Amino acid sequence: MLPPRFPKLRAVPWTIPCKMVSYKLLTPEDVYFSGPTSVEEPLEESVEDKPPESLLLEKKIVCSTTTGFIALGTFLLVVCGVWLIGTIFWLQSPSSKFPHRPPPPGSALAPSSAPQQGPERTAPPPESGSTIPEAWRFDCYPEKGVVVTRELCEARNCCFLPTSTEMPPAKNGVPWCFYPPSFPTYALDALNDTDLGYTGQLTKKEKTYYPKDIETLQLDAYFETDSRLHVKITDPATARFEVPISVPNATKKASNPLYTVEFSKNPFGLVVKRTSTGTVVLNTTVAPLFFADQFLQVSTSLPTQYVYGLGEHRSSFLHNVEWNTLTMWARDVPPMELTNLYGVHPFYLGMEPGGLAYGVFLLNSNAMDVVLQPAPALTWRTIGGVLDIYVFLGPEPSSVVQQYLEVVGFPAMPVYWALGYHLCRWGYKSSNGTWDVVKQMRNYGMPQDVQWNDIDYMDRSLDFTFDPQQFATLPDMVKDLHSHGQRYVMILDPGISSTQEPGTYWPYDEGLKRGVFINDSTGQTLIGKVWPGFTAFPDFSDHETHEWWFENLQKYHTKVSFDGLWIDMNEPSNFVDGSLKGCPSNDLENPPYTPGILGGTLRSKTLCASALHKTSVHYNLHSMYGLMEAKASSSALKRILGKRPFVISRSSFPSQGRYSGHWLGDNRSQWKDLYTSIPGMLTFNILGIPLVGADICGFGGSTAEELCVRWTQLGAFYPFTRNHNSIDEKAQDPTAFSPLARTAMKEVLLLRYSLFPLLYTLFHHAHLEGHTVARPLLFEFPEDPKTYAIDRQFLWGKSLLVTPVLDPGVTYVTGYFPKGLWYDFFTGDSVRTSGEELKLQAPLDKINVHLREGAVIPTQRPNTTLWVSSGQPLHLISTLTDEGTAEGDLFWDDGESIDTYETNQYAYIVFRVAKNTITSEVLHDNVEASYITVETASFYGVKKEPFNVTVNSQDAAFTYASNQVLTVTDLGLSLSQNFTISWT
């Protein structure tokens, strides 16, 4: 940790730099290679790959800059003396040391510059602490709240070099205490072939400053697929906690990998390169490897500064690499910058020079810091488990996400009504008050598929109850929703009241009897405090708890026939730190290193780290709690309803998309929160949770009409669309505003409903192939660096571009249009760009939507629920390229049955346009498609007015507009039958 304030008048004494010795260059026997070259035949070093001469630091290190001037003669004398001492030292030093050094990745790129292929950059040789470039200084004293002095730093055998004698560095700035090149670390003693790759032994001879160093490690490198490398570093003598999620097990070694792996022998390091370009995507030789019982750290260079993912944090979509520490430990806190939030996702996607992409995933659930620095480089720093690392070689960004999801699991296919408009608030105060809002929505013809209730529906905030006075009509309201084709979702918190009279509250009585609750370190039920008061917490790591959870839901469903679950407070949240009895004082509660967690301790507003689950301690399982609850909830809903489950969770972990969606938490009714919802949505799409959205119009504070209209326009394009606000704030459902605002909201919600066939098909591809639904522009235009930082616009799929208004008081918006031909969704007007920003008119009642050339977009006549809309006729919009081509597809099923694709209960149709003809080809048929007709077709970009149009060889009426839009109406074509429409 950098000192928060360095003494203003403290002088830096003139000292001799870190002693310097010469090194022979790394010899072939010091490096092992994989890939095209075998271990027995190491590659020769190229001149560019040779390491710079470096230094070896003695036990007590002095690293500083010269601060005074001396006479020339004295200077020469000192230089000669240092040279002589260094020479003597070198002659007595072991020559096999390979110092850590700044690596030679491709040049880092400024956000506005294009990636350049060129010579690799090598930092200056670290002849002293001062010659190690600031960007390549890896923090040797990362503890929070410590004023790092020279004495503290040098006690760790690290270099101490203040970057200023007057002002302290900024928070998370350049480290003043950093590792010297010779800092003790592991050596690779042996490397042997295995069926899947290599195995080796890592040893270290010198202890470092964190206790319980593990001196001997096992290295395993698995070449699992051509695009996936899996590397594990474990303790061969003692079993350590490993994340219990299902991952694929490779059975044979990749035959033609996209990567080459090199192993540095002494000190140990791993270098992964893209074979086709030589780009270094992973290089752990840049800093020492740590593997102590409660402190594991590995650093890597990055090929560029373009890094995405690493959820959950409130930030821009593109992460800042200027000394940015992202802490991961699930926490109940309203979204704020530089804070660990609800979810933990240690996966990042990076862009390389030239537009290729790669990804890295650390499968670890312990509290961690991820440090980004401008070298560019990244450090993983975790306090438990093992180093279980996956590297994905893409090469397209979308392929990286797909490869990541092949490991953690593809997202579930949502039930159809999940994609409709959801309405909720905390503070309806009664079931009749809730019902009145639903009726108002119907009266105004507002689309709405789902009504929700927050905790105020419960009796004294007790799970599996409803207030017998204020919510007495709740069962009747739910029946009424169902009769109108609508659905009901309720909130559930994991905290189970422990203070009810014995025999009066089955969830606690039965849970206690069956031992389903988390215990404290003494084996007694851990009691915390949440909304109902004193509570116990279910242990969702135990199958018996899943069964108990199902039985509770089943009993409650007989009273209130809910359709989905909103699981909240599942970090888990606790209003006291740890438990009512506090937490013991031990290494789990007070680890040698605590990441930058809000509150400063692992137990802050959650359970004791030493709390006992059936399978491990909370120290290991904490950040997985939301995932485990989602898994239990999804399974229970399948059993109760016999349909696809709908679960929305606040806390999340890798593989969450298999069981639930996510909302972005308790935001505020502010314009900034409107914007930050876009990077949040895009990030969760690349993390494999595409069913994601933010509270439309904001949760905290009272919204303004203009903000709510603009937010509804943006929210209509969230994959998951819900308006939700807090208790005692002004109502913000669409009916609460002026006629102009109501109309604008209604129109954009109907627009969303008309796009349901497209959205549903995108979710099919997410489920089947791991595609994103809401997609950053860089995924479709990775060769265009101007798209890399764009997070004020986004795509649905590859073709529908959304450019929302995110600022108050404006009637226009500026959007970036990558090179190509783009069409206005509503009019068909076209614009051709070379990759440029365009100013778009955006009155309050409009959101700009454009279509990319070459697409066929299925839309549908909208109605007030998706149950009605999904039976309406289709309208196909084709956006032609200059060559007159386009293509698209449609996935269709009954919308709610489980595993329709896996059981062949679906229809799949492909549309193609070429040579003035659109063809519909039914690749897989199902009775559901026979209920739908294609009513109209529009073709944007038909260059000449046709003489005639034929439909299945029969003449048809058509219109042709001056903006080159051809429209054919009254088609009446069955979706389940192949058809053609041609024009001449």
**Pairing outcome for strands 836-841 and 661-663:** unpaired
3-state secondary structure 150-210: HHHHHHCCCEECCCCCCCCCCCCCCCCEECCCCCCCCEEEEEEECCCEEEEEEECCCCCCC
Q: Which two tokens stand for residue 643?
A: 């349909």
Tokens matching residue 893: 């099923």
Distance between CA atoms of residues 416 and 105, nearest Å:
46
Q: Tell which residue, 17, 12, 24, has the closest CA to residue 58.
A: 17
Q: Assess contact for 19 and 85: CB atoms under 8 A.
A: yes
The token duo for 909 is: 């149709």
Both tokens assigned to 146:
């410590």
* C-alpha 284: how far from chain center: 23
Catalytic residue list contains 293? no
Q: For 606, what's the count of Cα atoms within 13 Å in the CB-facing half-sphere?
A: 31
Considering 30, 127, 571, 791, which one is annotated as catalytic?
571
Of 350, 335, 343, residue with least CA distance to 312? 343
Of the candidates 666, 715, 664, 669, the one whose C-alpha atom is nearest the C-alpha of residue 685 is 664
Q: Indicate the angle between helix axes 625-641 and 543-557, nearest 10 degrees.
A: 50
Q: Could you give the 3-state DSSP secondary structure of residue 271?
A: strand
Nearest in space to 105 (alpha carbons), one of 269, 278, 303 = 303
CB burial of residue 170 (10 Å; 0-12, 13-18, 19+): exposed
Q: Interior CA angle at 870 toward 865 and 876, to 5°?
A: 125
Closest CA to 843 of 805, 814, 875: 805
3-state secondary structure 476-503: HHHHHHHHCCCEEEEEECCCEECCCCCC
In the numeric block, which tokens belong to residue 128? Answer: 């002293």
Cα–Cα nearest to 427, from 699, 665, 728: 728
DSSP string, 85-139: HHHHHHHHS-TT---------PPP--TTSPP---PPP-PPP-SSGGGS-GGGPPB
Q: What is the DSSP letter of 723?
A: E
Contact by Cβ (8 Å): 840, 825: no
Contact residues for 415 (Cβ-Cβ < 8 A; gap 6+): 564, 643, 644, 645, 646, 895, 896
| Number of other CB atoms surrounding residue 919 within 10 Å | 15
Chain centroid to CA 384: how far? 22
Q: Which residues pair with 801 in a beta bridge?
A: 795, 850
- DSSP at 163: S
- DSSP reduced 3-state for 175: coil
Q: Catalytic residue among 568, 629, 729, 791, which? A: 568
**Is the Cβ–Cβ distance between 386 and 364 less than 8 Å?**
yes
Q: Which residues pair with 908 in a beta bridge?
A: 891, 924
Can you say whether residue 80 is alpha, beta or left, with left for phi > 0 and alpha for psi between -120 and 50 degrees?
Answer: alpha
Edge-to-edge strand list for the sheet holding 830-833: 774-775, 794-796, 800-803, 848-852, 820-824, 830-833
Rg (CA), the chain: 30
Q: Which of 407, 415, 361 shows the shortest CA–CA distance to 388?
A: 361
List the one residue out of 757, 773, 849, 758 whose CA is nearest residue 804: 849
Q: Is 568 a catalytic residue?
A: yes
Residue 109 to residue 128: CA distance in whole angstroms: 27
Q: How many CB atoms lie within 10 A of CB 14?
A: 11
Catalytic residues: 568, 571
